[in-house]
Amino acid sequence: MDLNRIAELEKFPEEDLAERIRLVRKSQGKDVCLLAHLYQRKKITELADFVGDSYGLSKSAANFEGGKYIVFAGVRFMAESARILARPEQAVLHPDPEAGCPMADMASLPQVNAAWDFLKSGPTTTPITYMNSTADIKAFCGENEGTICTSSNAMKTFEWAFQKSKRIFFLPDEHLGRNTALKFGIDPSEIAVWDPEQPDGGNPEDYEAAKVILWRGYCPVHMKFTVRDMEHVRKFYPKATILVHPECTSDVVAKADFVGSTEAIRQYVAKETKAGDQIFIGTEINLIQNLAAQYPDRMVTKLHRSLCLTMYQITMGRLLYTLENLESFERVEVPDSVQHYARLALDRMLSLQG
Ligand code: SF4
C-alpha cells in the first residue's frame, strides 16, 4: 500500500474525490461491489451499492451479481464477515486494514480459551458472540456448540441456548448481554461478569449460580450516553422521543422510549415519526447526521456527540486508492479452519431467524 499516494489523495476536496470515485466505478461496472456501513461518512454512503448493518451487508455481497471484488467500507470484523459469507472466488478488500473495532478487539482467542477452560467444568454453558467480534471468536462459538447474535436477534439466541444448556457465556459486549438478559427476565443477581484481565475472571464465587456470564467488553461509542443526557432532553424537550442502541448501559436503556439496532433505529425514524417531531438518538453520529439530512422536516439530533473513530479511518482518499489498485490491494484473508467454524456459527444464527 502506497501511503504517500494516499496522503496525496487526502489533500483533494471530498467532492473532487467523489467525482473520481464515480468515474473509476463506472469503468469497473459490476465487477466491483462497494458496501458501506451505516456509520460511514455521508459521502461514502452516497457512493455505495449497499448501505446497511454488518450482517445485512455481508449477505448483500454474497448475493451481488458479478461482484468479483467486494470493497468494504467499515471496520475489520465486518470485512472478515464478508470474507466468510462471500463466494470463494470473490476478493474482499478493506480500504484501511488497521481500522478495527475497539470492542471486538477486547476479546482475544487466548483470553476466551482461558475463560472457557475455567467455565466448562461448571454447569452446561453455551457461548454466544455478538456479530461485532473477530472471526476467531465466531469460530470459537461455532466449535463449542454456540452461535452468533445481532442486536436484533439476541433474544432468540438466548431462548435457543437455554433450551440446551443452563448458562450462557456472552461475548464481547457486556451491555448488549445484560440488556438482553434483563429483557429475557433473568434476575440481575443471576448475571455475572468475566473480567479477562483477572486469571479467575474476577468473580469466581458468582459463576456457579449465574445464568448469564458476560465478557467485560464495551463499545466506547455507546458508553458516552448517560442518564444525565436523557434528563437534560426530558427537561428542555418534554415532547421529544429518545431512541438508543442496546450497546448502551442498562440504566440508559431503561429510560429510553425505544431501544433497537442501527437498522431498527433507522426504520423507527422512517416509519414511526412525522414532520415536526423531535427525535434524540443515542448512537454513532454519522448515522444521526445522515438521518437528519434525510428527514429535514423533523428534528433528528444526537443525545450526545459520539463518533466511531475507527469507522472514520475509511476516508475518501483511501477508498479511491483501493478502487484504483484492485489487483494489487491486500486481500482480507481468514484461515480455512476459522472460516469453517465461524460459518457454522453463522449458519446456526440464520436457522434461528425464524
Ligand atoms: S461503533 Fe462501537 S461496536 Fe461499532 S465499530 Fe465502532 S467501536 Fe465497534
Q: Is the CB of 102 under 6 A from ligand 1?
A: yes
Q: What separation in angstroms does the CA of 344 have from each of 76, 138, 165, 337, 347?
A: 20, 9, 19, 11, 5
More confident residue, 17 or 347: 17
CA of 278 to the centre of ligand 1 (A): 26
Q: What is the pLDDT of residue 65?
A: 72
For 3-100+311-333, CATH gives 3.40.50.10800
Whose Cα sits closest to atom 2 in ligand 1?
Answer: 219
pLDDT for 150 equals 87
Angle at 116 between CA 158 and CA 127, to 5 degrees: 15
pLDDT tens digits for range 108-128: 999 999 999 999 888 999 999
CA-wise closest residue to 71 among 42, 97, 33:
33
Q: Which CATH superfamily is domain 104-219 in?
A: NadA-like (3.40.50.10800)
- Look at residue 62 in the predicted model and tell me its pLDDT: 65
Which residue blocks in 29-131 are alpha helix, DSSP H? 42-47, 54-63, 76-85, 109-119
The yes-or-no verdict on residue 74 having pLDDT over 80 is yes
Task: Produce one character per residue of 86-121: b if its CB has 16 or more CB atoms within 10 Å, e if not.
Answer: beeebbbbbbbeebebbbbbbbeeebbeebeeebee
Q: Is the pLDDT of residue 179 over 70?
A: yes
221 CB within 6 A, ligand 1: yes
CB 190 within 8 A of CB 212: yes
Query: Considering only CA atoms, which of 69, 62, 74, 34 is closest in space to residue 50?
Result: 34
Contact 62, 85 (CB under 8 A): yes
Helix (H) / strand (E) containing 51: strand 50-52
Q: State the Cα–Cα distance between residues 136 and 300, nearest whole angstrom.
A: 38
Looking at per-residue confidence, does 210 or 63 come out higher?
210
CA distance 6 to 22: 18
Q: Where are the domains of the chain?
A: 3-100+311-333, 104-219, 222-302
More confident residue, 30 or 246: 246
Look at residue 354 and tell me whether its pLDDT is greater than 60. Answer: no
Task: Name which residue sits closest to atom 3 of ligand 1, judged by CA.
Answer: 219
pLDDT value of residue 57: 80
Q: Is the CB of 97 under 6 A from ligand 1?
A: no
**What does 291-327 look like in DSSP terms, one character per residue?**
HHHH-TTSEEEESS----TTGGG--HHHHHHHHHTTT
- Gap between the Cα atoms of 70 and 159, Å rounded: 35
138 C-alpha to center of ligand 1: Å? 17
Residue 96 — very low, low, confident or very high, per pLDDT cuts 50/70/90? Answer: very high
> Does pTM top 0.85 for this prediction?
yes
Is it the case that residue 343 has pLDDT exceeding 50? yes
The residue nearest atom 8 of ligand 1, judged by CA position, is 101
Same fold, 104-219 and 222-302: yes
Looking at ligand 1, which atom is closest to the CA of residue 308? 6
Q: What's the distance, CA 88 to chain centroid?
A: 23
Angle at 336 between CA 334 and CA 340, to 5 degrees: 105
- Region 80-89: mean pLDDT is 89
Mean predicted lDDT score pLDDT of the chain: 94
337 alpha carbon – ligand 1 mean position (Å): 26
Residue 52: band (very low, low, confident or very high) from pLDDT cuts 50, 70, 90: confident
Assigned fold of 222-302: Rossmann fold (3.40.50)
* pLDDT at residue 353 in the model: 65
- Statement: residue 75 has pLDDT above 90: yes
